Amino acid sequence: MSSSKETNVRKWDFENTKLFYEVLQGKFPENYPIHCDLKLTPEQAFDVIYILQEYFNAIPDVFEQCYRCKELYDSDCGGNHYNNVGINLCEWCEDHILYREGYGGDYETLDEYVEKWFKSTKSDSLRSNTSEESKSAQKENNVQ
């Protein structure tokens, strides 16, 4: 007599991938049977998903993390990858950047505008880091 063990394997669709992404960040759904102290950052959680996509082919390679809001999205349903800067943007953030921040067609391509926006986020980040470093240096000089 052969025994067949029934397995409860989840299909890696978008909803289950998003649930896994949330769990990796320590956000467990109500009544979830397992709890642990796992609390990855959104970037670290997506790194795990990316490894499962690229190296193990366990999760479809259409689920991406938006650079701006860090949420997962299904690239078959919207959003884009911008090769010129190597980022993904979900449809909502793409609309926000392009229409709320003033994309008026002054740029030859949408890619050029996203590249300009991306570079401005990097320089804003550098400015805030530099000002924090300046404050730290000033505090150290005042202590001495």
Q: What is the pLDDT of residues 6-63, one digit of tens each?
A: 445 567 899 889 989 998 998 888 887 777 788 999 999 999 999 999 988 889 999 9
Q: How many CB atoms lie within 10 A of CB 38?
A: 12
CA 95, CA 110: separation in Å to the nearest integer?
11
How many angstroms from the chain centroid is the CA of residue 36?
A: 22
Amino acid at 26: G
CA 137, CA 143: separation in Å to the nearest integer?
10
Nearest to 24 by CA among 1, 46, 40, 35: 40
**Rounded (10°) angle between helices 14-24 and 42-54:** 130
Q: What is the pLDDT of residues 72-117, one digit of tens each?
A: 999 999 999 999 999 999 999 988 888 776 665 566 677 888 888 8
How many angstroms from the chain centroid is the CA of residue 115?
A: 18
pLDDT of residue 103: 61
Amino acid at 23: V
pTM attached to this predicted model: 0.70
To the nearest 10°, the Cα dihedral for 92, 94, 100, 105?
A: -150
- Phi first, then psi: what are they for 53, rounded to 5°? -75, -55
Residue ranges of the alpha helices (H) in the chain? 14-24, 42-54, 91-95, 110-143
DSSP state of 31: T
Q: What is the pLDDT of residues 119-129, one digit of tens each?
A: 988 876 554 54
